[in-house]
Chains A and B, each alone.
Chain A
Amino acid sequence: MRVLLRNPRRELEVDGPLSVGKLLRQLDLNRESVLVVRGDTLVPGDAVLADDDEIEIRPVISGGADPMGPP
């Protein structure tokens, strides 16, 4: 399957079938920090990805200046 990773943007080829949970462990990714997106929907942790799937592993952590901080 083709796996798109972001920040930085790069692509990987991974052999399927493989569960989402196993793929994230294989890539050493914390499931709290990413979403797995296929097309316009999400793929849950127990779903099995097929060898011809194209998925995106999207990071969800963002950080920066706090506009609510002390005046």
Chain B
Amino acid sequence: MKCAVCRGPAVIDLRRHNANFCADHFLRFCRDQVARAIDNHAMIEPGDRVLVAVSGGKDSLALWDVLLELGYDAEGMTIGLGIGDYSAASTEAAVAFADQRGLTLQRVDLREDYDYDIPTASAVTNRVPCSSCGLSKRHLIDKAALDGGYDVVATGHNLDDEAAVLFGNVLHWHTEYLGRQQPTLAERIGRPGSGGERRVFPRKVKPLVRLAERETAAYCVLRGIDYIVEECPMAEGNRHLRYKEALNAVEAASPGAKQAFYFGFLDRAASRFASDADGADGELRACGRCGAPTTGDVCAFCRLLDRVAGHDPVPVELVRPRRGGARRRKSRTKARS
């Protein structure tokens, strides 16, 4: 197998591109794909300060590395989720990446800073862990970006992530989500509370949408980036993973199917759902507790804190899902006095 560019020995075959690459030309291919996504979807302007949401996994570390290689001013932020050994190892990978390169990495720890963690939140609210996890990440990353004066938040969503989300949204016809499933979400300016106009949500971008996750993992291996290979124990068997498996089965039989599905949606269908997304956005006001933008009196993050902060920690083992996505059992929890 030979590299499509230099005819040297190839290390990876990309069937969706009908091409093989040596290590050097594969790394160049990845950078070119990210640069093209940034350009096509107006993600990052020259001089922008970028905050990268870093989990310690392959996608976020590959993203941070590529953005730096492309010359962007990119700093990182990582959140300690309190998911046992998995979170400890994830944070360790993120910190090691930053330390080895002398990069700025902001750190927030849910247990230390907000007196809860994801297993406890899942047990107390009796909802899937990804629900409180996503809510916490969105709130804290937005807050860090706005407080720190970053122009844009970059996340490591790849082609497989976006195709799986699209698949789920189509299966259930979540038209308001289809209307906002874009690689770039524009910042929102609002006038919450008594102050003047201000930025209430930062611009959010997904520069890896042109790379499959097999490619971001390969990028990390070839760049010598140590990332956490283990899967989140609380995501095991969730719907998102099942959609990915289904799409990969299609991809194996029909290379290029995932990119045709996702980019076909962006080119020919997404705009048809834009009005559904607009209708889902209510008028924003300032949260009475933290000042974050919300459509109610208190934002969803503060309502979560009201329910879960101060509870005795619930071990991961009590709330991690069985295969198939079902939770083990409802855990008994009590508030600490």
Q: Which residues of A contact B (CB under 8 A)?
A: 6-7, 30-35, 37, 40-47, 58-71
Contacts and interface: CB of A to CB of B under 8 A. Distances in A.
Contact of B222 (A31, A34, A41): A41
A17 to B, nearest CB: 16
B229 A32 contact: no
Contact of A44 (B12, B229, B249, B293): B12
Given A33-B245, A44-B1, A66 B134 contact: yes
B244 A61 contact: yes
A62 B138 contact: no
Given A6-B229, A45-B1, A68 B177 contact: no
B248 A71 contact: no
Contacts of B20: 44
A34 to B, nearest CB: 8
Contacts of A35: 214, 217-218, 221
A64 B238 CA distance: 8
A61 B58 contact: no
A39 B185 CA distance: 40
B222 A30 contact: no
Interface residues of B, number: 59
Contacts, number: 123
Given A65-B137, A68-B138, A42 B11 contact: yes
Contact of B12 (A6, A42, A64): A42
Contacts of B207: none
Interface stretch (B36-44, B157-165, B311-319): B157-165
Nearest to A37: B221
Nearest to B177: A70
B65 interface: no
Contact of B221 (A41, A61, A68): A41
Contacts of A44: 1, 10-13, 20
Contact of B57 (A45, A62, A68): A62
Contacts of A66: 130, 134, 157, 161, 165, 240
B58 A60 contact: yes
Given A30-B249, A58-B221, 11 more contacts: A6-B229, A6-B230, A7-B229, A30-B252, A42-B218, A60-B217, A62-B231, A62-B235, A65-B131, A67-B138, A70-B177
B176 to A, nearest CB: 8
